Structure 1
Amino acid sequence: MTVEEVLSSNLYTQQIKKLYRVGEILGLQDDQLEALATPERVIQVKIQVPSSNGKIKTFTGWRSQHNSALGPYKGGVRYHPNVTQDEVIALSMIMTWKNSLLQLPYGGGKAGIRVDPKSLSRTELEILSRNFIDALHKYIGSDLDIPAPDVNTDSQIMAWFLDEYIKVSGKVDLGAFTGKPVELGGISVREYSTGLGVAHITKLAAEKFLDGIEGKRVIIQGFGNLGSFTAKFLSEMGAKIVGVSDSKGGVIDYNGLDFNKLMEVKKTTGSVINYPEGKKVTNDELLISECDILIPGALENVINKFNAPKVKAKLIVEGANGPLTADADEIMKQRGIPVVPDILANSGGVVGSYVEWANNKMGEIIEEEEAKKLILNRMEKAFSEMYSKYNKLGDQDLRTSAMVVAVERVVNAMKARGLI
């Protein structure tokens, strides 16, 4: 890999480029941009886990608390062997803009542990999770910093987090974490809220740019929680899912993929690549295959200056965080392909977390249908704001339009508090 390729693949570098573009539009000074780009606190911790062979496994974890101008930090925790400090900081910055755009009372936070969770036993995974909270508990709380699930973490890990937090802090604070099991103050809608939101925003965008969602051919990269629920809801809306993939590869069938069969194949074989019909493809091939709507819903920087010119989709909706680089954004803009940004498209998860958090604060009074309505209404409002700004700016893309709305809100809060 060349130096240029390494720099272009750094998610933090990409987010800084995007922020500075917005800064030019808003007329922000360099010192203001520096304040926006710099996280308020980054905590690095060493996590040690005894293994069955008597040796000690050592892992590194981070929590980035990017900006609290609008409220307590909010963002997920990911377990992945390639996690870096820069990535965690970049993701916490994305969370700041996402929470601002959705008008949630939060700042941005994110955490990650550099670990392959598949290499750990269930006992080791629990010890890792509990020890992470032991190291971080002083910086967490429902009015301070509220973690949630992200890549390779789920409601069980949030349950371990909460239990350990209560033990070490002495505070029975159910709102300190979201994405919890229902029995511990979670809400059932949180499990599928991210996929529901991606599907709903895709439908709204298709109505603006493609004359509706009915019959549109959709390709989804990533078939975990987000991708599978996105496929489910889009199928119910009348879209045709023609391609999906996971870490092992993908499958394309322009006659349409059967969602229930996909789920069964994934469950029984471990990968959608074993779907009996269609053409087997790599993830790289999937991203540049013919379709109406492409939803990259796996990891960051998968669409870059090298493959962006080959993308054949008419509309891109970012299911993952940061799947397009700044260079890819520019290429899509030049090609006239709208890109609905991650800070809106996948915000159903954090809006679901907000509903859960508020429900914990109020004493468990929200029903599932009411929660779904709150999530979709909040996302529709944000989409309308972004689209209105897009039309007003005239020469900018959807991401820039959304970020102008979000960054301006954070800037105004920081000015009001005397922070810039």
Structure 2
Amino acid sequence: MLNSLFTGPVFEMARDQLLVIANHLSIPEDERDWLLYPKRAIVVTFPVRMEDNRTELFIGYRVQHHLALGPAKGGTRFAANIDIGEIAALAIWMSWKCALADLPFGGGKGGVAVDPRALKPKELENLSRRYMQEMIPFVGPRTDVMAPDMGTNEQVMAWFMDTYSMYQGVTVPEIVTGKPVGTGGTLGRREATGHGVAFLAFRALDALDIAPATATAIVQGFGNVGSHAAMGLAARGVKLIGVSDHSAAYYDPKGLDVKALVAHAGRTGELAGYSSQATIAPRMLLEQPCDVLAPCAVERVIDADLARRLRCRIIAEGANGPTTPEADRVLADRNDGIFVIPDILCNAGGVIVSYFEWVQDLQQYFWSRDEVMDRLERALDRSWAMVVARAKRDGVSNRTAAMAIGVERVVKAKQARGLFP
């Protein structure tokens, strides 16, 4: 039954990754399904009144992987092609990410099957509010705390918070994170994930004895994460030589103007139209030589075939699950030692600062941006040191080391709490 409910290539990828860790940690067979499958999976359908006065039906999801360490925590994405298997896989990865960062959360994830770009502003608001209304029986500041993801943003989170608060009769800012600062959001949240990607890329450059001023980078995906990663890399002297999103890809070994790219994407919502020169096929872009390759778009971008062709020194995984297990095996067999910063470490900046936002909302005491970013970098440094040391000690990949730390913490919490009769 479980195998028929949670299916698809993304879920199978999460399952395969956990199997590797379960074998590595010698987790008993009868405890593996308990670790893998979600505690709760919610599927809803709901009508939305469109601007032309017709009614359209949408399907929404929310998965809470486990609650052993605290409330579920994770983003909500609006994307045309999502299903319960993909959402479950993202919740599973969020579990290991939160545990690795030592946050008091279990993994959560949600979404609506819709292309948000096809919606008019009022339709997007109606859909956002109705989705949250359907989720109210299942979420709460101590149960499940939402955040933005692909296709959602600060405004959507403000609508979520307002809808939940109207039903409670009081303002409840801690029900979501990633809100506008004026509604209980935190300074630094918008750039947190991309900042973390760049910060850890510098840690890897230092580990490989590569000076940032001589380094080059290619960033795939130019949304919130990719654009801030590009800006963070450029701020310390790394030359951006390639960039892409769903609409276009550009490559210039002499370097691209990061500020101009960010300004163009901010005006138009995409990279298309930035230039008629330096265009390149998106997949070919990833094969170009560089020091840092930062996939910051979607899952399963680096497959086994592409892994054989990569000419980077470092992979900084800004996206969730950008490298398939088959690609991991190819990378392990290569003799040139590409340094992988795994997703549950590399893109953890967002959930770490989301935790800070949740804490600030609960206390109604807010921090300066400098304090937020200082705490973020110290948290990332702790996780980085643990992963690198564990990989060296056990003779395993950085991904195996990172996941082993996260899974161990969840296992210990579940074992300590035991099974409720």
Give the TM-score normalised by the residue count of structure 1: 0.95
* Offset from partner CA, 1:197-231 (integer Å, 9 cap, x none): 11101111111135343321100001111111111
Contact 1:273 1:280 in 2 (8 A): no
RMSD: 1.6
Name the structure 1 match of 2:373: 372
Name the structure 1 match of 2:347: 346
Name the structure 2 match of 1:4: none
Contact 1:222 1:297 in 2 (8 A): yes
Alignment of 1:25 onto 2:24: yes
The one-letter code sitting in structure 1 at the alignment partner of 2:378 is: N
Please, which runs of 5 or more residues in structure 2 have no aligned partner?
1-5
Name the structure 2 match of 1:73: 72
Task: Say if 1:33 and 1:216 are closer, same or farther in 2 by CA, change over 3 A.
Answer: same
Deviates more, 1:193-202 or 1:274-283: 274-283
Q: CA deviation at 1:275?
A: 3.6
Partners of 1:10 and 1:287 lie apart in 2 by 22
Q: CA deviation at 1:188?
A: 2.1
Partners of 1:212 and 1:14 lie apart in 2 by 35
Name the structure 1 match of 2:3: none
Name the structure 2 match of 1:417: 417
Alignment of 1:223 onto 2:222: yes
Q: CA deviation at 1:282?
A: 2.2
Name the structure 2 match of 1:3: none
The one-letter code sitting in structure 2 at the alignment partner of 1:72 is: P
Name the structure 2 match of 1:274: 273
Please, which runs of 5 or more residues in structure 1 have no aligned partner?
1-6
| SS of aligned partner of 2:305 | coil
Partners of 1:167 and 1:384 lie apart in 2 by 44
Task: Say if 1:168 and 1:270 are closer, same or farther in 2 by CA, change over 3 A.
Answer: closer
The one-letter code sitting in structure 1 at the alignment partner of 2:399 is: R
* Offset from partner CA, 1:320-347 (integer Å, 9 cap, x none): 0000111011111111212111101011
The one-letter code sitting in structure 1 at the alignment partner of 2:288 is: S
Partners of 1:26 and 1:272 lie apart in 2 by 44
Task: Say if 1:315 and 1:8 are closer, same or farther in 2 by CA, change over 3 A.
Answer: farther
The one-letter code sitting in structure 2 at the alignment partner of 1:295 is: A
Name the structure 2 match of 1:158: 157
Deviates more, 1:155-164 or 1:365-374: 365-374
Task: Say if 1:273 and 1:215 are closer, same or farther in 2 by CA, change over 3 A.
Answer: farther
The one-letter code sitting in structure 2 at the alignment partner of 1:338 is: F
Deviates more, 1:233-242 or 1:156-165: 233-242
Partners of 1:327 and 1:49 lie apart in 2 by 41
| SS of aligned partner of 1:289 | coil
Partners of 1:25 and 1:248 lie apart in 2 by 41
Partners of 1:278 and 1:350 lie apart in 2 by 37
Contact 1:8 1:14 in 2 (8 A): no
Deviates more, 1:220-229 or 1:282-291: 282-291
Q: CA deviation at 1:273?
A: 4.3
Percent identity over paired residues: 37
The one-letter code sitting in structure 1 at the alignment partner of 2:59 is: T
Contact 1:245 1:251 in 2 (8 A): yes
Partners of 1:276 and 1:136 lie apart in 2 by 43
Deviates more, 1:385-394 or 1:279-288: 279-288
Name the structure 1 match of 2:133: 134
Alignment of 1:117 onto 2:112: no
Partners of 1:40 and 1:115 lie apart in 2 by 25
| SS of aligned partner of 2:279 | strand
* Offset from partner CA, 1:9-51 (integer Å, 9 cap, x none): 7111011111110111111011211100010000001121112
Name the structure 1 match of 2:10: 11
The one-letter code sitting in structure 1 at the alignment partner of 2:296 is: G
Name the structure 2 match of 1:363: 364
The one-letter code sitting in structure 2 at the alignment partner of 1:387 is: V
Corresponding residue pairs, total: 413
Partners of 2:209 and 2:48 lie apart in 1 by 51
Partners of 2:311 and 2:58 lie apart in 1 by 41
Q: CA deviation at 1:75?
A: 0.2
Q: Which runs of 4+ in 1 moved over 3 A?
A: 267-271, 273-278
Contact 1:141 1:173 in 2 (8 A): no
Name the structure 2 match of 1:388: 389
| SS of aligned partner of 1:58 | strand
Q: CA deviation at 1:191?
A: 0.8
Q: CA deviation at 1:69?
A: 1.1
Contact 1:248 1:273 in 2 (8 A): yes
